[in-house]
Amino acid sequence: MQLNEGKTEALLIDPQNSPNLPLSITIGQNDICFSRSVRNLGVIFDDKLSMKQQVSKICQSAYLELRRISSIRHVLTVDATKTLVTSLVLSRLDYCNSLLSGIPQQLIDKLQKVQNCSARLIFKTSKCTHVSPLLAKLHWLPIAQRIDYKMSSLCYDVVSDTAPLYLSDLLCLYVPSRSLRSSADTRIFRIPTRKKKFQGQRAFSHLGPVTWNKLPYSVRHAQTQSQFKTQL
């Protein structure tokens, strides 16, 4: 294949602002400058992996859809509004949300405000209405728990041998060096050690086991995926 320089992007990830880094990469005869952010499968990655641009894009598109639904809310039933919000707004909040694991709380709060506005729109309540009962009535998990739900589901796919290899290769079951009381638990992942907190702490290979190991024994040892999700 011939490299199309006009459509080629390169991203150099440097969370620690290291000095004297190159400004471009040479591929063949082409010199490709590093971009501040790139899009992959609809997800925006920046050179700090902060996911700020991705969260801003999600909020922007979600609020646009909420304004459109709000303009016709007076002719919609609660069920019809819930269906529209679920397909046009909630789906955006859930898309690739496992990539948002470990991001700062202020970014989670931005996404939570979108979900809160969605719940209030469905029930036509004011901005001062406490949102927790509304979320419970809709059976919606808050944003942080939705992310943990996705991470746990991916981990279950790994232990049940239904995950793709590129995920299975990232996780290792914990095998104690000697017989312990916890040896009977065959569904615990080994948490890899990180020399630097800033690097790798949000990787699936680290946060996946951390999230999974916190689950109760009965949930981790569910026989089927449907049972697992119900208990989760």
pLDDT one-digit tens code per residue, 165-178? 999 999 998 887 76
Using DSSP bridges, classify how beta strands 30-35 and 24-27 pair: parallel, antiparallel or unpaired: antiparallel
User: Per residue in 172-202, pLDDT tens?
Assistant: 988 877 666 656 788 899 988 776 555 678 8
What are the domain boundaries of the chain?
5-35, 48-140, 147-231
Do residues 99 and 43 touch, judged by C-beta distance below 8 A? yes
Average pLDDT over residues 120-139: 94
State the Cα torsion 227-190-151-56 to the nearest 10°. Answer: 170
Residue 63 amino acid letter? Y
* Predicted local confidence at residue 119, as pLDDT: 97
Which H or E run contains 40? strand 37-40
Measured CA distances, 37 to 53, 175, 193 (Å): 8, 40, 29
- Nearest CA to 182 among 220, 228, 227? 220
97: pLDDT strictly greater than 60: yes
- Integer CA distances (angstroms), 164 to 41, 157, 160, 171, in order: 18, 9, 11, 12
Using the predicted structure, report yes or no on whether residue 1 has a pLDDT greater than 60. Answer: no
Q: What is the pLDDT of residue 211?
A: 94
- Mean pLDDT for 143-147 is 96
Structure tokens at 50: 């902060």
Asked whether residue 228 carries a pLDDT value surpassing 70, the answer given is yes
Determine the straight-line distance between the first and last CA of the chain, rounded to whole angstroms. 46
Cα(218)–Cα(209) distance, rounded to whole angstroms? 16
What pTM was computed for the model? 0.86
Answer whether residue 3 shows pLDDT above 90: no
If you average pLDDT over residues 7-12, what whole number do you get?
87
